[in-house]
Amino acid sequence: MERTMGEDDCTTELYIAATKGCTTMLNKLIREDPYILNKISLTTFSETPLHISALLGHLDVTKTLLAQYPKLTIELDSKKRCPLHLASAEGHIEIVQELLHACKDACLVRDQDGKLPLHYAAMRGRVEVVRALISACPDSTRVVLYGGETVLHLCVKVQPIRGSASCWWNL
């Protein structure tokens, strides 16, 4: 007797596709269940497949997910981070651009510590991502963290000795 895939199996497959960066598997799952991405909020996973593809740098999967269900852009994980936080931290500039195109407001989403995606990029020295985020949302540079620090404070704190702090002034 042939076993049919249950809803839980399909959801697991969705997360596997996002992890592996497999658009073929992702498209197959969406064809089989056009509402599979809508059902993500009913799962026990704290991250969405978009969080995973953004973190791992899977551009094609990210584009597919955004085309099918752009609302994933503002979904939060257990630490209140949106996918833009993760892509920014990892320096995945093309994914950052796709996420910004889908929802510029994600620039101003604060995580549980009050950090914006811009703060993550600055703390990891992702200059190109910092530029893209500031260009999309200039007001984000004025956001003050709970400790009173701005993004400029973080930039200088992260790379004070290498002399690379000067590159931040050219933003």
Of 78, 83, 62, nearest in space to 17 by CA: 62
Give 126-148 pLDDT, tens digit per residue: 989 999 999 999 999 888 888 88
How large a percentage of the chain has pLDDT more than 70?
87
How much is the pTM?
A: 0.87
Give 49-97 pLDDT, tens digit per residue: 999 999 999 999 999 999 999 999 999 999 999 999 999 999 999 999 9
Sign of the dihedral through C-alpha 51, 52, 57, 63: negative
Asked if 130 and 118 touch (Cβ cutoff 8 Å), the reply is: yes
> What CATH code is assigned to 7-169?
1.25.40.20
Asked if 84 and 115 touch (Cβ cutoff 8 Å), the reply is: no
Residue 8 is predicted with a pLDDT of 72
pLDDT-based confidence at residue 4 (cuts at 50, 70, 90): very low
Residue ranges of domains in the chain: 7-169
